[in-house]
Amino acid sequence: MQMQMSVVYSVSRWKSSDVHSTNEFNKSSKKKKIPAKVLHYFPLRPRLQRLYMSSKMASHMKWHVDGHMTGEMMRHPMDSLAWKNFDEVHPSFALEPRNVRLGLASDGFNPFGNMSISYSMWHVVLIPYNLPPWMCMKQTFFMLSLLIPSPTAPRNDIDITCNH
């Protein structure tokens, strides 16, 4: 059975409308419920598993531990202070080289190509930072995780949308 209320926000999952309406034959018929918000989710687990299916790709996924060159130049997100701070805060995660580190990127666009229409589509893309710099930013490794259609841009509320 589907939940009728949001557990987090205690609001209805459906747009408010009449439960019963009359059709052209003057018979009472039930309307389909229209969701208040729509979010298209693409499962992440199978894509991450695919990265480890080939032994060559699995070795690339451990590059950040095995093949990284130390130096003063920032060549990879691993060289950043944020990565080093994360390793200090979560030492058990940092010890396992197969743990996947993902970057999150989002941007919106108008799917109709008409700027007079305010409808927007937001995509959330995950980027595996375990890979070497010549691979991690290639489009073939970007993973589309969410599509958020909306009459308006989510702006600062995108974290609320991703939280569900």
Tens of pLDDT, residue by residue over 42-86, are: 999 999 999 899 899 888 888 877 766 666 676 778 888 888 899
Count: domains in the chain: 1
Domain membership flag for residue 24 = no
Domain membership flag for residue 157 = yes
Segment 97-152, tens digit of pLDDT: 888 999 888 887 666 666 666 777 888 899 999 888 888 889 999 999 988 887 76
Domain membership flag for residue 142 = yes
Domain membership flag for residue 62 = yes
Domain membership flag for residue 118 = yes
Domain membership flag for residue 25 = no
**Prediction pTM value:** 0.70
Q: Are 87 and 99 in contact (CB under 8 A)?
A: no
Residue 154 has pLDDT above 80, yes or no: no
Domain membership flag for residue 134 = yes
In eight-state DSSP terms, residue 112 is: T
* CA angle in degrees (0–180, nearest 5) for 120-36-21: 120
Q: Give me the pLDDT at residue 10, please.
A: 74
Range of the domain at 117: 38-163
* Residue 125 token pair: 């893309």
| Cα dihedral 136, 110, 16, 18 in deg (nearest 10) | -130
Distance, in Å, from the CA atom of 45 to the CA atom of 106, rounded to the nearest integer, reads 20
Domain membership flag for residue 159 = yes
Segment 20-36, tens digit of pLDDT: 555 555 455 567 777 77
